[in-house]
């Protein structure tokens, strides 16, 4: 295992389309993914996409723990708002409804900043795990947000490009002025 260097906004690898993985069960992918997980946890991130570690392939890792969801959710409501540590190879997202939600995002490739981003509130996604088995889930809330954010990296999109008002792009040291009720 190794902690990988994270590409920062401006590096060309973050602006390009990542290539599909020919064989999700390729043993060589396991080393990359285990290093990505170690790098994500070390950096205290909720997700990481392969282009962020200079590998332009369609691979993401993420987690959506219950504490990142809205507080006070019932067990039923948590069902598709949380996800364990997940690896997705060649992910595809399907938007399940017109509802959109604004939420604060950060990105390990855009260190020190937070931005308010509107995303689809309800999605279904699919992809492959490292055994080549298909993964399919529905997602809402933070879970839906992190998957959309990570998959955007595979298309060369960073969250500031998704913002409708750059007045809501702030330094995380100033976030206390904006998130008093969170
Ligand atoms: Ni990111």
What's the whole-model pTM score?
0.94
Centre of ligand 1 to C-alpha 54, Å, is: 13
Paired residues of 171 in beta bridges: 113
pLDDT recorded at residue 181? 53
Active site residue 136: no
Tell me, yes or no, whether 1 lies in a domain.
Answer: no
Centre of ligand 1 to C-alpha 20, Å, is: 19
Tell me, yes or no, whether 165 lies in a domain.
Answer: yes
CA separation for the pair 162, 110 (Å, rounded): 14
The enclosing domain of 95 has a CATH number of: 3.90.45.10
Per-residue pLDDT for the chain (182 aa), expressed as one digit of tens each?
799 999 999 999 999 999 999 999 999 999 999 999 999 999 999 999 999 999 999 999 999 987 776 677 777 778 888 999 999 999 999 999 999 999 999 999 999 999 999 999 999 999 999 999 999 999 999 999 999 999 999 999 999 999 999 999 999 999 998 876 54
Tell me, yes or no, whether 6 lies in a domain.
Answer: no
Beta strand 113-120 with 100-105 is antiparallel
Q: Select which of 75, 77, 101, 150 is catalytic.
A: 150
Centre of ligand 1 to C-alpha 150, Å, is: 6
How long a stretch of residues is the chain?
182
CA separation for the pair 10, 160 (Å, rounded): 12
Q: How far is CA 134 from CA 12, 89, 152, 157, 167, in A?
A: 30, 9, 20, 25, 40
Tell me, yes or no, whether 7 lies in a domain.
Answer: no
Centre of ligand 1 to C-alpha 60, Å, is: 10
What residues make up the domain containing 67? Answer: 12-177
Q: In the chain, how many domains are there?
A: 1
CA separation for the pair 120, 65 (Å, rounded): 19
Beta strand 100-105 with 169-171 is unpaired
Tell me, yes or no, whether 22 lies in a domain.
Answer: yes
Tell me, yes or no, whether 91 lies in a domain.
Answer: yes
Centre of ligand 1 to C-alpha 180, Å, is: 24
Paired residues of 62 in beta bridges: 47, 86
CA separation for the pair 170, 43 (Å, rounded): 20
């Amino acid at each position: 295992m190794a902690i990988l260097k994270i590409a920062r906004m401006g590096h060309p690898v973050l602006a390009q389309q990542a290539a599909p993985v020919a064989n999700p069960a390729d043993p060589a992918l396991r080393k990359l993914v285990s290093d990505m997980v170690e790098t994500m946890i070390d950096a205290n991130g909720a997700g990481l996409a392969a282009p962020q570690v200079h590998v332009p392939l369609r691979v993401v890792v993420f987690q959506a723990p219950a504490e990142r969801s809205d507080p006070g959710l019932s067990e039923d409501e948590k069902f598709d708002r949380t996800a364990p540590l997940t690896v997705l190879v060649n992910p595809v997202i399907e938007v399940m409804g017109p509802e959109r939600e604004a939420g604060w995002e950060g990105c390990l490739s855009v260190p020190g900043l937070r931005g308010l981003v509107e995303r689809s509130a309800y999605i279904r996604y699919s992809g492959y795990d490292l055994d080549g088995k298909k993964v399919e889930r529905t997602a809402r809330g933070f879970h839906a947000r992190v998957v959309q954010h990570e998959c955007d990296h595979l298309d060369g999109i960073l969250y500031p490009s998704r913002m409708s008002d750059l007045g809501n792009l702030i330094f995380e040291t100033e976030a206390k002025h904006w998130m008093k009720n969170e």
